[in-house]
Structure formats: C-alpha cells, structure tokens
Amino acid sequence: MTEEQNPGQATPQPEGAAGAQLALQKIYTKDVSFEIPNAPQVFQEQGQAEVKLNLAQKVEPLGDDAEEIVLTITVTATIGEKTAYLAEVAQAGIFVISGFNEQQKHAIVNTFCPNTLFPYARTTITTLVSDGGFPPLTLQPINFEQLYAQRMQQMSAEQGQAGNGADVGEDTVAAAFKTND
C-alpha cells in the first residue's frame, strides 16, 4: 500500500525540529579525586556514615554547535565529626546540538546531557568508594527532568518577585542520605 502525498501540502513538523541535530561525540572522565583524610583511624569508627551528594553542571561552548557538558558529582561521607571519604568525579561529554530553539536547547542541555553522563559518573563513584575500602555505595538514579522543571518554576517565581533573570547553565543540587555499614 502506498501513501499519496499532495505536493501542495507540507508535512507539519514541531517548531525547531526541521534540520535539528543532537549527537553525542565523546564521553570522558575529566577529573577524578578520592580522599580518605582520616585514614586509618576512620576504619575503626563505629556507626553509620552520613553521605552527602552534590551535583553541579557546567556548559562550555566549543563552536560549530558543539558543547562540552561537565557533570560533577561530589560525595562526602562522615562518621560522627570525622570525614570518612570524599569522592569527586567530573564526567564530561561533547554534544552537538543544532537546529533547536533556545528553550529546547536549554532543556536538552539540562536534562538529556546529564542523564547521559550520570551512569558513567555513578559507576566511577561506586568503584572509588569500594576500592577505598568502604562498603559499596550505589547512587540512585536522578530525575534530571524533574530537577529542571523545579529550577524553571523557581526561576519563574524569582523573576516574578525581583524582575531579574538568572542563568541556570551551572547548577548545584544537594542531597543527604545515610548508608548502612
């Protein structure tokens, strides 16, 4: 069965979708750090470790519609007043994003890109913590779409109050949770 097309009718396309391109060129680990500032005494401490997670994202234009997106995850574990370990991973990717309007591009940079990078950073963190002699730490998935929606809502509310815009190109999110030892 063939479908006939009327040359006088254009096929409707979403705004900004004509010629739009989203391509991942490269994923790489830009920086890794793991510290145990109170070793070996921290291994004799009793109790649950309190783990704090911080996320940050940085966007660096590279030209020709290419962007370097760097997702930095910092995990700090403390037992009592002592820092058990500090693990930080800067996971980066080069993404080509073209043919989208600014709003669509902004959403892609803040949702699709960190969603793509997060599993790599999570694996590196898990390996660092385990190789450092601590119980395995598996970071739960993060809903970057929800975080983005919350930031946009917050920014909209702030603009309504102050009448001033803010750049959400570099963002930080913090979470705290406890692990069982």
pLDDT at 17: 55
Q: What is the pLDDT of residues 36-95, one digit of tens each?
A: 999 999 998 888 889 999 999 999 999 889 999 999 999 999 998 899 999 999 999 999
pTM of the model: 0.77
- C-alpha–C-alpha distance, residues 100 and 84, integer Å: 45
Residue 156 vs residue 121, higher pLDDT: 121
pLDDT at 155: 86
Residue 175 vs residue 60, higher pLDDT: 60
Q: What is the pLDDT of residues 103-148, one digit of tens each?
A: 999 999 999 999 999 999 999 999 999 999 999 899 999 999 999 9
CATH code assigned to 21-143+169-179: 3.10.420.10
Distances (CA, A) of 164 to 84, 156, 160, 161: 41, 10, 8, 8
- C-alpha–C-alpha distance, residues 44 and 41, integer Å: 5
SS3 of 160, please?
Answer: helix
